[in-house]
Amino acid sequence: MSHSTLPASAYEALELPPATIEILTNPKPGDPLAPEASPNLLQGAQKPEQPLAPNESSIILYAELLLHIRTVTLFASLRSFHTRETKAQLATDGFSITVTHEGESATIHLPIKVKGGGDAALSLPAQPPSKELTLRLQIEEKEGTDLLGTLRSEQRNANLVPWDGASLNHIRAVEIRCKSCQGVIAPASKVGEWRDLPNENWAEMMDFWHCHKPDEHHLHDHNRHAIVGKKGYAAGNRLKAVDGVGFVDLATFLLKEQDCEGAESPSECDSQDSTLFCKQCKHMLGTKDASSDGWRIWKWCISIASGSSSRPSIYSIQKWISARLLFLTENQGVRKFHVHPDTDSPQTAPISSLLIWVFTPDLFYSSSIPSDDRNGPTRSMKVFYQSQTYTPPQTGEPESASIEDVAFPKELFEALERTLKESQKLVPASARRFQGWEVGLLERFDLGDMKSLALEQCDQSTQQIDASA
């Protein structure tokens, strides 16, 4: 700030020494970087808000369905403090809420119907002024209905995973395609039978269950060995890929190399982890499995088509990640996982990893932020996560009983990291962190994902009946 100075004649009556008058009439220039002693309090210290994109609302709404306490929690994020003019209106049908603030409005479709009974103005907290609002809304359940019981049903709460062996056997002419370019990986003419594999620990369980082999005691030795040898996963047998048969587990297909006409491996070695690629677009598809003498095709890298359908079924990669974490939660009895990329070569230097805490395995959420992949209430799991580093444990190093180490293929790990960061945009700013943890969402498979597969089976059955008639 510039300061005006008086001429020397103004100080003559004070009879000051010439040196003092010299200082008063020629003050030392101030430091341009020095802060002002009395700054203008009307000038906000906050950084200016980022300009909004066209058709973008400054209001972000997010809602979660909490089944156990029968409530829907609504979060509203505003770009300025709420006032008496800020309003929240529940629609007549009880399925949507509109929040209005400073002349703008945003609407969210709730995960479930809440109590309202007509257009109802919701009471917002008067104090203290805040940019983040939270409301608890009671679920409406009419007499004689069992909505919450249906949502908690055993079938819905199961870890649903599509493309199991039983369902694929009911579809005519199953064809495996590359998810990226839709090139054919395994034509329908190559694989005519699908078999479900048991739990990952099947070998140990088979040794326990078939210790005495009660169903085979009457057979002669040579007959018994012949029958046992035909079992794909019998006790004492090593799982082997079979021509024309697709073995199915939670996240992969095990096929013979000659059945995968559209896949290739650039590596000529017999390494168990040799990567497989699509011949057309070079998209990663899986790995070679030397122990089973077959090729492992990852489900998240492919799509499934049938002879009577022109639209292949495709699922987002995050749903396969959720299915994997849920499987580990159910089988390992833990909810915290140290997830790191799988590496073929011995790793000595630390690599990036994620500590995952499956906090809420099952919830429904809605968001006012539009998305091409999400339409309406979405089933997901809420996870807490921390960025860490991973180093393979040394010999004799004790293992944690509460945290399970999990190796993901590099592509899957990168997708997990990317999805969690992107999902934070849906969560209100005030709810993105919890005691040092980042909060994210991962979508889950739901009954709706199985509906298209069931309709496909039904259509094919109808066509077969019509043809025979």
Tell me the CB-side half-sphere exposure of residue 209, using CA atoms within 13 A: 10
Alpha carbons 170 and 193: distance in angstroms, whole number: 10
Query: For the range 431-438, what are the long-range contacts, defined as Cβ-Cβ under 8 Å and sequence gap of 24 or more?
Result: 431/75, 434/384, 436/386, 437/357, 437/384, 437/385, 437/386, 438/384, 438/385, 438/386
**pLDDT, mean of residues 14-42:** 56
Asked if pLDDT for residue 255 goes beyond 60, the answer is yes
Q: pTM for the whole thing?
A: 0.75
CATH C-level class of 60-138: mainly beta
Q: β-strands 403-408, 336-341: how paired?
A: parallel
Do residues 207 and 236 touch, judged by C-beta distance below 8 A?
yes
CATH topology of 60-138 equal to that of 165-197+239-314? no
- What percent of the chain is helix, strand and coil (3-state, nearest 5)? 25, 30, 50
Residue-wise pLDDT tens digits, 275-332: 999 999 999 999 998 888 999 999 999 999 986 566 788 899 999 999 999 999 988 8
Average pLDDT, the chain: 77
Confidence class for position 168, pLDDT limits 50, 70, 90: very high
Q: Cis ω on the peptide bond leading into residue 18 (within 30° of 0)?
A: no
pLDDT of residue 312: 84
Question: What's the CATH number for 165-197+239-314?
Answer: 2.170.150
| Domain boundary assignment for the chain | 60-138, 165-197+239-314, 317-448
